[in-house]
Amino acid sequence: MIHLLFIVIIGFIVIMQTSIPYLLKRTIAFGVSIPEGHTDDPSIASYKKIYAIVSSIVGIAGLIAYVSWMSGRSLSGEKVVLAGLFIQFSILFVSMALYLYFHAKVIQLKRAKQWGANLKQVRIVDLEARAKDEMLPSYLYIIPMLITIGLMIYTGTQYHLMPERIPTHWGPNGQPDAFTEKTPFSVIATLLIALIIQAMMLMINVFTKKSGIRIRATKRQTSQIQQLSFRKYTSWFLFLTTVLITTLFGFLQVTTIHAELENAMLMMAAPLVFLVIILLATAAYAFKVGQSGSRIEVQVEDDAITGITDFDDDRFWKFGVFYMNKNDPSIFVEKRFGIGWTINFGNPIGYLILFVPILLILAISFLV
């Protein structure tokens, strides 16, 4: 079981790493903004190709090594997990090294050829864009939280019926493999973690809605439709994740309270179904939407505008990956190499939203 889980995850990572250069918009290459007129540069196209080919070769080699190492042996689950994680991190590490190499190459190219030197840098805002934003309303994220709180209350009413040993960890087969004593705190610890994750998702939705709506200076209508689609589908994806997490945690809690409902088949299938849905949704999202919605087809033709290009904000992007701009009130901004949101490290609220929940979850895990 665990073998299959890891093979699926590694296979997924390989596919994503290989296709990433083709899911990104043309105005940014390897974390470097590309001025108008150079977005179809053949050197950049060849860098993307090399990145994809090397990523796929390394990934497939890693996958083959993993499968052949496991086949015909009876290995402990722990070894399979460790080796699986090792392969995953190795693949990601190689991708990161490749990224940094090409990031430096593109910076060099842009500087040597003085791209954009004779273009005026502008930033365009449409005052009507906010009214067209279709991200999900934040109150929707309260519903999963209410479900979790309801389950906590229900757990309280069932306290005397619960077993003396409360599961705190579940193995890949869906069976609990670590337990703790029954206390009023330990019986709701799992739900508390769920609640913290749900609160974090709520905050992400609240603050991503407030983040800047950026449009491309020379493709105003097209880029706006794509940007608004990106925002909409990303908020759907976030909500789907929240629903899945709520379902999984709720399921674990209900089976803990009612041992008679425990069903080995169902327990085993739950995490797998969870994983498969998440991976399929991620792939559908990445390939349908793409960075800034660049893969969404738009039937609008923008008038040709020359002499201008988007404001070059490379100076705020460390290594083309970490955004640090104290002036920008956006707490989340769109990723430059990847699809989705990343935080503005120049704004302390972003740190709070991501790190406070992680610290709280760690604290709960240690206390239980």
Partner 1 sequence: MMLIRIEPDSEIPIYLQLTHELIELMARGKLKDGDPLPSVRSFAADLGVNMHTVNKAYHELERKQFIQIIPKSGAIVSSISNDMAQFHHERITTALQPVIAEALVIGMSDREIKAVVSSIMKDLRGE
CA distance 66 to 8: 12
Residue 130 interacting with partner 1 (CB under 8 A): yes
> How far apart are CB 28 and partner 1 at their closest, in Å?
15
Q: Is 302 in the site for partner 1 (CB under 8 A)?
A: no
Q: Is 293 left (phi over 0), alpha (psi -120 to 50) or beta?
A: left
Spatial separation of the C-alpha atoms in residues 218 and 303, rounded to whole Å: 8
Q: In the bound complex, what is the minimum distance in angstroms from residue 125's beta carbon to partner 1? A: 4
Among 120, 169, 258, 318, binds partner 1 (CB under 8 A): 120
Residue 214: CB minimum distance to partner 1, A: 7
Q: Does 134 bind partner 1 (CB under 8 A)?
A: no
- Burial environment of residue 222 by CB neighbours within 10 A (0 to 12, 13 to 18, 19 or more): buried
Q: Kindly write down the DSSP assignment for every residue of 325-357, as one continuous string.
A: -SS---SEEE-SSSSSEEEBTTSHHHHHHHHHH
Question: Binding of partner 1 at residue 298 (CB under 8 A)?
Answer: no
The dihedral through the CA atoms of 221, 222, 224, 225 has a sign that is positive
Applying CB under 8 A, does 128 fall inside the site for partner 1? yes
The stretch among 125-133, 140-148, 166-174, 256-264 that binds partner 1 (CB under 8 A) is: 125-133
Copy the structure tokens of residue 27: 């105005």
Contact call for residue 123 and partner 1 (CB under 8 A)? yes
Q: Count residues contacting partner 1 (CB under 8 A)?
A: 27
Residue the block writes with tokens 């699809």: 339
Shortest spacing between CB 333 and partner 1, in angstroms: 9
Question: Does 126 contact partner 1 by CB under 8 A?
Answer: yes
Q: Which of 325, 340, 342, 345 binds partner 1 (CB under 8 A)?
A: 325
In angstroms, the Cα distances linking 272 to 8, 10, 176, 178, 268 are 10, 15, 15, 20, 7
Contacts with partner 1, residue ranges (CB under 8 A): 120-130, 210-214, 217, 220-221, 224, 311, 313, 325, 327-330
